[in-house]
Copies of this chain bind each other. A is one copy, B any other.
Amino acid sequence: MEANLRLGEFIENIEQAITDLRNGKFILIYDDDCREGETDLVIASEFVTPESIKTMRKDGGGLIFLMISQDVANKLKLPFLADLFSHTTDKYPVLKELIPNDIPYDAKSSFSVYVNHRKTFTGITDIDRSLTMKRFAELARNIENLNDGHAMRLFGKEFRSPGHVPICVAVEKLLDERKGHTELVVSMMKMAKLTPAGSGCEIMGDAGKALPKDKVKKYAHEHGLAFLEGNEIVDAWEKWSK
């Protein structure tokens, strides 16, 4: 009985989060006590507005970034920055010195390039960052049936790099391979049948660190937002993807 109740609560929680994402609302995703121990404010990129960026910078305070599936990155031939750096160490030997071989909670950096939409001005205002994110999601949806070369050219027609919006790319096998925010978010987008591009920002606390989980839960309650932990998403994903 208690197990059933817990299962019911668990499904309700995931379903509520999926509904919220589909309605353009924020949800909160905490990865894991044994990983970063951070919560991200997350929203489907296709619904991002200047107001969303403001919420992320005011209530989050971390990096405001895009998370996309490897399918989208492959279509656009987007490299991981770490790979790009390791291929250019002959010309830029400093990149060899800076190799990120000691990330405490992970084996590999998810960062690809930083972009701005070409119609942005400085690139950093709420209006500019929301334009970059929303249009990126639209592009990701539109290129699904295009060949890679064509997709890449459409990308370059609308976006430039360097820019102010970092793109993190999920690993191919998603949660079977890595359980970072990028994979958690892209899996949620897939389960919600949304374009696999999410926007997020880590929530900082007042003590120099990430906001502790209990305080995030309080924030979720006060703002009527769904709060998910990584393992809930992993469980749901296993059921959904099999």
Contact = CB atoms under 8 A, between A and B. Distances in A.
Number of copies: 2
Contact of A124 (B96, B105, B202): B202
Q: Is the interface of A mostly helix, strand, loop or mixed?
A: mixed
A160 interface: yes
Interface stretch (A11-19, A149-157, A186-194): A149-157
Counting chain A residues whose Cβ lies within 8 A of the other chain, the interface size class is: 35 or more
Interface string A130-169: 1000000000000000000000110111011111100000
Contact of A77 (B92, B100, B153): B92
Interface string A175-198: 000000000000000000000000
A156 to B, nearest CB: 2
A178 to B, nearest CB: 15
Contacts of A54: 61, 204, 206, 208
A8 to B, nearest CB: 34
